[in-house]
Each structure stands twice: as C-alpha cells, then as structure tokens.
Structure 1
C-alpha cells in the first residue's frame, strides 16, 4: 500500500467509525474500473457488506477490473439488464445470494431509473433505496419521477458543493487527456477552436480551462439559464447546435444526455475531434453511425470515422466516445474522497430510513451532514 492509499484508507476508516457499521445491510454498487474504486469499494465494505460490484461495461478491460474481481463478486452490467427488473432480481437472488437481505443500490449513471420500483417489489428481501452519484444519472431518475414519483427512497450527491472540486479536476483531466491524444498525432491543442456542448458543472470548467489555454471556445446548451450564464462569463454562446459546431474543430460533450446523435454527427466539420466527459452510451448514439460511417483506429485512444461515400467527411472520436480522462486512469487526487465520503454518509440515511420517497427531485444531505464529512476529510488531507 502506498502512502497515498494508506491516507485514504485511514480517512475512510475514521469516517465509517463515525457513521457506524451495518454488516446486516448489503450493497451492490455500479462502478468504473479505475484506481479510485480500489479504495472506495473497501470503504463500502466497511460500512456494510459489499455483495457485488457492477463494472461499467466500457471499463472492464482495465487492470482494476482484475484486482476487484479477485476480491468481490462482479456480475455483468448492461443497460438492458438493469432495465429488466426480473433479470436484476434473478442476479440478486441466484448469483449474489441476497434473498431475505436488506439491500442498498449504489448507482452511477441512472442504470436503475426505469426499474427500481419493480426491483423492490420482486426482490425477496428489502431494498432500502438507491444512492445516485452522477448528474446524468440524476436527470434520468428525475425524468421518471416527474411523471410517476418513486416508491423507493433515492438520494443523490451529484449536486453537492462537496463535488465541485472533483468536477473541476475531472474537467482538467479531460483536457489533459485530449491534449495527450492530439500530441500522439503530432498536433497541439491550440491549433483548434473548441465547442463545449453542455454548460453544467463539468462542462463549464472544461470551457474555462480551454479558454485559459488560449483556445477560442464556443458554448452550446439547451438550458437558456446556463446559456445566459456562459454568455455573461464572456463565452460566445450559441442557441443552435449547427452554428456552434460550424465554428470548431474540437468538440467536448458534457451533457450525459446524448449530446450527438446522427443529425449532430452530420453537423461536425470534417476533421473535427470529439471527446466526452462521461460514458459513450450516455453521451452519444454511436450505433447510429454503423450504416453511414467506417471506423478506423488511428491510435490507441483515437478512432477515425469516415462517411461511407466518395468525398465524405470524417471526424475523430477520443477513447471511442468514453470519458477522455479514463485514458490516463482518471486519477484526480484526494479531492474525490470528499464526495465519496458524502456517498457513505448518504447511504447511512438510507439505512436508517431517513430518506423519503416520492417527489420530482431526489433527496440530498443537509449542510450539517456535509460539514461532518468535510471536517473529517480536512483532518486527513490538509
């Protein structure tokens, strides 16, 4: 164990000792196979019993998958499986042996948004609730909750102020990885103009970082409030996607809600480089490209897509559409442990049945609870 890992382990041990131990509660967690999961999974296992880790599909080839597989049960994860409550419950009962248990689902990306209430009904145990950790996941849950409020308690940390440092560092690492990929092609970042699609917490940081690097940066968002904020901060803000894309040869997508589908890909300038801050299945409709484009790897982390016609346009996709920063392990330092700590604190509220069900917005922790987490983090990392 490195000194950094030892510090993180001590932080989680201290935090869990304050939160309490709930060994009779089991947890199944969706997770990226990245270095941080190697420390967060044991923290979940301290607070509860970690019954299974569901690996994000496009990260299973990483070394972290092998390390986690040696310690935990790792069923296969897919959007189709997660939407199918019968299939999910079969995995919980047969593969993870959770019949009759108390269970918490830890989600990132809204995998169970369509099925959670049905899972709760079919599960031969008690589903205490879901903790969702990402903005695009929150959007998926809220879209359904606005129509039919959930009967299952759901809490999120995605909009917490404790996540702001992580969001900025994620943005920094995305830009770092894009630049590294371009340099492998003997190109520098500053030769391109950029468009950022999505001016949320990560997208706004990406835009600011690119502009700070001397890159002309345009912003597009469907939310007029966010677009007005971008304009007030001095960005050229476009209300039409085609106009935003017409001015750029580098496109960074930060919506989590299919920023580019077939029509959007058709608006790209030939030779554009496209990157995402999140998973490909959340940010792009890649299957739509199969009929009209020919993919060709041009580097370890870059794929060229050529239109399937004479004289057609082409564009490049970083990490084949997955989060660009995962190319380099998505290591962003101890700041991420702030929000991981809040996740544990939010799970405690689920376990103790303090999270109400219903309503069009997900539950969040109050300021007092967040301060408790921050104080422990400060003790270990400052």
Structure 2
C-alpha cells in the first residue's frame, strides 16, 4: 500500500516518524526533500523522534522558504535553492507557461487574452515575469505587492503599481495570483469585477482561500479547467477560476525544457552538502550553496545542454 502523504501529515511529527518506520527506514540516514515548507513546523520533532539520523531538509520553493523563516531557530540543517540565480530561468519559463495555459483556457471559451486587462498580485520572481510577459503581449497590466521594495522595482520598470489591493483589482478582468501567501480571501474575492478570470502560479492551498466561498457562492464547472463561482443571491457577481486555483501551467504538464535541469542540478548539490554534513542547523537563516558550487553546476549544465 502506498503511503498517503499530505500537508496535514507533514505537519504531524509523530505520523511522519510512524510512516518512516513503516517504510523500513529505521536506523537509516534520511534527507527530507520539501517543496512547499510542509515540514516547517515539525522537522525538529521529527529529527528527535526518528530512530535513525535526519541529516536535514532541502527546500526547493520560495513559498517553502517563507514558511521555514517563520520558525527559525531550528536544530536541524535546512538548505534551500529557492533564491538561487540558477532558478531564475526556471521562474521565467514557469511564468511563460502560466500565461500560455491561461490563454489556452480562454481560447477554449472562444476568447482571446488581449480582450482583458490584468492585475498581478505578488511581484516576486514568478509574478514579475508574469507581469512582464502579459505587458509584452499588449495587455494592460497593473501590479500589487505588500513589499515596498518589490513595488518600487515594479514602478521603476514602468508598471502601474498599487499599495492597495482594492486599487489593483479595480477594473481588472484577469487576476494572476503569485504571492504564495493567500492573495485572495473572502474580502479579496468580493472585490473582483463580475466576469473576472482568476489564475494562480502555485497551489490553491497556498494562494487562495477557497473554503470561504462554500456558503456564499455557487460553484459550476464550465469546462475541465475552468470553474464559475457566482454569488448566491439574485443578480450576484460571478468570477471564473482556472485549474481549481492550482498552478495554471500544470494544465499542460508544466513543461519548461532543459532549464529545469539547471536548478535540479543545484538541488542535487545541496543534497550532497547535507550528506557530507556541510550544512549548519538553520538557527538564524536557511543555508544556501556557495557561489563556487553554483558555478560548477552551471558549467556542467552548459557542457551537457549547450
């Protein structure tokens, strides 16, 4: 029987340890590969109770890093590749594939992307690329972020940038959420213009509070990848959700070509560093690979793919 792993399971140290023992890992050396910060609240207790040796955690996403940073003071080594320059090509290509998938869903409804105006919520590494790609496609695009540094960068790059979420959503008929930290809750959904299309660049669990819609909205499947939510009242507004709020690019398999191997190479190097016990416990910050190690990964990638 395969083990049923989930976000809730990862947060329960005793359940994780029990699963590891059932998998026959007792007495083994172990590294947890995390993609989303699922072990952020439980990793030290897992390390304490596991009857083996937990060498550490390799975290691969910005969402996950933010969750681990909320619990700093770990006794366990944690290393991340999420903010590496080697991840920039992947972030840009993910953004390209997100826009591609949104357009594909709209075309299935006999609509083209350029009929809409867009708001990008979250001007991080993926969100900034989404905004740039949409603008380059001739789509009027505004940006919102709670980080003044990111918002200043967006403004310097010529985007109409809003400190206020209501101002950013005002008039937008396409909203792309890229915060990794609940871009829209009940209040946010209530600000959407009727007929707006909403898409995410990551998991719905991290980006959208969909549970808040259960009582006040009627959910209808328009197609395999598009869902309509309508206010449960006469003349109520409605909006459309792409891919049930999950990463839009997963509709088409999230294919981004050889660039993915660049950051995968760094992940392997990070795992090697954990095995060699070159990573200190994450007390004040998460560890990253040094420049020399990243350069070596890049050189190997160039040799194989160029």
Aligned to 2:197: 273
Aligned to 1:184: 108
Paired positions, count: 306
Where structure 1 has 5 or more consecutive residues not aligned to the other structure, the ranges are 1-72
Aligned to 1:337: 261
Q: Distance in 2 between matches of 1:120 and 1:178?
A: 41
Secondary structure of the equivalent of 1:257? coil
Correspondences of 1:217-296 after superposition (within 5 Å):
217-296=141-220
Q: Does 1:360 align with 2:284?
A: yes
RMSD of aligned residue pairs (Cα, Å)? 0.9
Q: Does 1:130 align with 2:57?
A: yes
Question: Which of 241, 244, 248 matches 1:324?
Answer: 248
Q: Distance in 2 between matches of 1:209 and 1:241?
A: 21
Secondary structure of the equivalent of 1:306? strand
Q: How far did 1:75 drift?
A: 2.2
Aligned to 1:79: 7
Deviations along 1:251-288, whole A, 9 cap, x unmatched? Answer: 00001111111111111111100000001101111111
Q: Distance in 2 between matches of 1:281 and 1:82?
A: 14
Aligned to 1:144: 71
Aligned to 1:120: 47
Q: Distance in 1 between matches of 2:176 and 2:294?
A: 31
Aligned to 1:304: 228
Distance 1:342 1:285, change over 3 A: same
Q: Distance in 2 between matches of 1:215 and 1:250?
A: 10
Secondary structure of the equivalent of 1:222? coil
Deviations along 1:284-341, whole A, 9 cap, x unmatched? Answer: 1111111111111101100000111111111000000000000000000000100000
Aligned to 1:42: none
Secondary structure of the equivalent of 1:175? helix
Equivalent pair of 2:75/2:283 in contact (CA under 8 Å): no
Question: Which of 76, 92, 114 matches 2:20?
Answer: 92
Q: Distance in 2 between matches of 1:278 and 1:162?
A: 20
Deviations along 1:159-210, whole A, 9 cap, x unmatched? Answer: 0000000000000000000000000000000000000000000000000000
Secondary structure of the equivalent of 1:333? coil
Where structure 2 has 5 or more consecutive residues not aligned to the other structure, the ranges are none
Q: Does 1:155 align with 2:75?
A: no
Secondary structure of the equivalent of 1:144? coil
Q: TM-score with structure 1 length normalisation?
A: 0.79
Secondary structure of the equivalent of 1:316? strand
Q: TM-score with structure 2 length normalisation?
A: 0.99
Question: Which of 92, 98, 121 matches 1:197?
Answer: 121
Q: Distance in 1 between matches of 2:282 and 2:40?
A: 13
